Structure 1
């Protein structure tokens, strides 16, 4: 069949014939000329040959279909392993044998043989996850190219002594703000650890980024700041829960100027009242304390007087509320989302490093 038109063809050689060649004399001439050894065969022989040929075609199509499904299943299992942060050899050693036993018990027949055709080796899962990661990274990069976003990065040294850089991004996706894994890269050059390497004003990562965009807003992980402060506390103060009374007496009896300076250095005074309007723009009384421009103040006042939005604010999350009013109140909504996009801690990076260490440790144990 070509272009939805049935075209006659020879059963033996597949040669396509014209409609004018369908007369018995011309068909006989084709048979004698091209297939002389079959010229004396009965009609039933050619019918049987055609039936066998059609059956082979169906079997080939079925095998091709099974192969495509096996590839899809392989990617889906690789995605599950990646999402659950499990070692890559789990598919070959646990998932595949388990699936074969399940289908053999529940379905029987040759179902377990079909399941075994799914490629789930350690190397295959590794390639699948790499393909999925590259696809996610490319799609995320396209999204970030046209959107404001926050990026969370951190570096660690894994159990093999190699430096690993991990990055997460936070951006607006339709009606919400989501966190998305971006990449994990092995660093070939020498790297250093610690706050100065990241937040240093001269040679730190932040300094290099600000050379490209001086308007970026930088936040230091709250948990890291707490850890840095504890390095300068007297040893007695580190066991707060156990020696609470001694700690209070110690603070009362000694000058705390140095301690206060350290705390202020890592925890600068922040007036959270300046951001009350972000949480609830309908309870404002004095916009002068919010550190807003004149245009931002005017839009905030207009927004706060919109009674229809009061109900909307009570029904939606803060993120969704500000995203959904970007068109109507673009200036103040942009300011609010700029604040909401920020990461408060580097928890995602730490979680990613834990997963990386777990996977690499399991891999070394299996070697």
Structure 2
């Protein structure tokens, strides 16, 4: 037994012996091309960082080892015996022709690649302008050819025909660009926390759409982008909406745990605390903070009118409809306004769903009250009696003033990159103004209401609508307190300006320690003056993660669903009655996204051909 073991051991040692290792061959010598080789009909070409001889007659490329005079001469005498006695000038002429031919091939190959890139860039601009795809072949290409032909020449203009710009091609290009933007977006969102803003509405084709936007941290600032726009095939229930969102997040590898906020309107399917969308989301993301859109809340708080003022609003709408719904009467009224030298020649329709509609309608009717009175009298309409009543006109003037102020507040709440502390200031300011107006009205001062004041002074009237104004302003105060649950306006001071505010009482010990560190940091104090609030706290989080995370938990959630309204406006522009069957998501994403497409990457994944 020992004998066999010993032999086995020796065999293993022999195998490990360096004497039996594979023999290391010397590295092959890299030969260099010599200009004298042209006398044998050979030039030089590079293949994989290696110089190789190429015959200028047959264009055949030989191995690097063939860079020897005898091998090159043998190729010439064997394959081209008729040229073996030719002078060097003959082969030099052949070399010039060879290089010209190669240049032609390279140029021809680059045309489809350039045409493809141009096709993508044209499609990108078409989508951003929300135009139909056919406009490229019907208008853009002919115009471009005319301009190039005039400014350059017809030959240059004819090259534009190589660009693929058909209807279907532009559609495919927009699809590719949309997917590239979506891929970039999901990669960025996947890296950290995010918040969502969502709303559903019906488009011109009666398709129900769910639009969702996402806000996330991108580098040193926050970014807002369209996450998706999906069609709701069934009923727009909370379960159906959650299913659409959940499916998309899973396909994009986004985690519900990273969602810190959701913003919707107050519809039951969205805001229900038990079966609404916000309740379903909180089951999978307990830390997500739900926000009722502050613009919708402002519209709801200002919607209610007393019976007395509601009667004025009803008569105004009836008057507008009487004039606007009859084309002949609308033309006659317009002519009357022109004769009287009015700045405007038409009244405006009222739309309950439009936030600024009431203020604009009331202001226009008040402005054209004399023209309306004359017109209604000539038409023998009973509505004319209201415009002879000074009390009615005073109420109309007050309503136009108040709703113009509400419109100003609504516009202040609109916009991108808004957050809760910023908009809470606007609401607090308006509530304080309501209190100031109420106190002034109680003592008979109406100088805050310009239209009412001018009407009273111009007609030398006594203000008889003070009680009505007091009632309405008091009701507005109650409605704003109900919808906004007025809290201490100083609760966000430490986020707005940590260097001037005291730390909130509910900070933990580590958080308060970091608050002291932040407020003692001179560098951060200087940065606070030059950066946006979000960018400042993103920078703070990198050094003081506990305090920065807490501040961003307030700044990251959306405060309104304004972006969704912008999205639906874009849908209305894109999906016209002539394009009602199109898939809107890709068109919408390219139209409103701020992420630039990666054209080089997109083109590298496609075969360049003028017919594609």
Quick check: TM above 0.5?
A: yes
Aligned equivalents of 1:41, 1:248: Cα separation in 2: 117
What are the residue-to-residue correspondences of 1:212-227 with 2, within 5 Å?
A: 212-227=284-299
- 1:113 offset after TM fit, Å? 1.4
Aligned equivalents of 2:513, 2:478: Cα separation in 1: 39
- Distance change >3 Å, CA 343–CA 84, structure 1 → 2: farther
- 1:234 offset after TM fit, Å? 4.7
Q: Does 1:195 align with 2:263?
A: no
- 1:283 offset after TM fit, Å? 0.9
SS of equivalent to 1:171: strand
Residue in structure 2 matched with residue 313 of structure 1 by the alignment: 528
- Distance change >3 Å, CA 247–CA 41, structure 1 → 2: farther
SS of equivalent to 2:275: coil
Residue in structure 2 matched with residue 336 of structure 1 by the alignment: 551
Aligned match of 1:249 in 450, 454, 467?
A: 467
What are the residue-to-residue correspondences of 1:137-156 with 2, within 5 Å?
A: 137-156=182-201
- 1:247 offset after TM fit, Å? 8.2
Aligned match of 2:72 in 14, 22, 25?
A: 22
Aligned equivalents of 2:183, 2:565: Cα separation in 1: 23
TM-score (norm 1): 0.82
Aligned match of 2:494 in 249, 270, 277?
A: 277
- Distance change >3 Å, CA 161–CA 253, structure 1 → 2: closer
Residue in structure 2 matched with residue 206 of structure 1 by the alignment: 278
Aligned equivalents of 1:191, 1:12: Cα separation in 2: 71
Residue in structure 1 matched with residue 52 of structure 2 by the alignment: 6
Q: Does 1:97 align with 2:150?
A: no
Question: Which one has more relative contact order, counting CA pairs under 8 Å at least 6 apart?
Answer: 2
- 1:68 offset after TM fit, Å? 1.2
- Distance change >3 Å, CA 309–CA 47, structure 1 → 2: closer
Deviations 1:54-97 (A, max 9, x none): 43432221122122122212222222333344433343333322
- Distance change >3 Å, CA 117–CA 148, structure 1 → 2: same
Aligned equivalents of 1:314, 1:60: Cα separation in 2: 59
Aligned match of 1:300 in 499, 507, 515?
A: 515
- 1:7 offset after TM fit, Å? 2.4
- Distance change >3 Å, CA 13–CA 323, structure 1 → 2: closer
Aligned equivalents of 1:247, 1:97: Cα separation in 2: 65
RMSD: 3.6
Unaligned stretches of 5+ residues in structure 1: 33-37
- Distance change >3 Å, CA 272–CA 117, structure 1 → 2: farther
Structure 1 window deviating more from structure 2 (224-233 vs 319-328): it is 224-233
- Distance change >3 Å, CA 5–CA 13, structure 1 → 2: closer
- Distance change >3 Å, CA 128–CA 271, structure 1 → 2: farther
Q: Does 1:172 align with 2:172?
A: no
Residue in structure 1 matched with residue 162 of structure 2 by the alignment: 117
Q: Does 1:81 align with 2:126?
A: yes
- Distance change >3 Å, CA 248–CA 49, structure 1 → 2: farther
- Distance change >3 Å, CA 343–CA 141, structure 1 → 2: same
Structure 1 window deviating more from structure 2 (88-97 vs 121-130): it is 88-97
Deviations 1:99-128 (A, max 9, x none): 222222222241111223222233222222
SS of equivalent to 1:116: helix
Deviations 1:345-366 (A, max 9, x none): 212111111111111117449x
- 1:216 offset after TM fit, Å? 0.4
Q: How many residues align?
A: 357
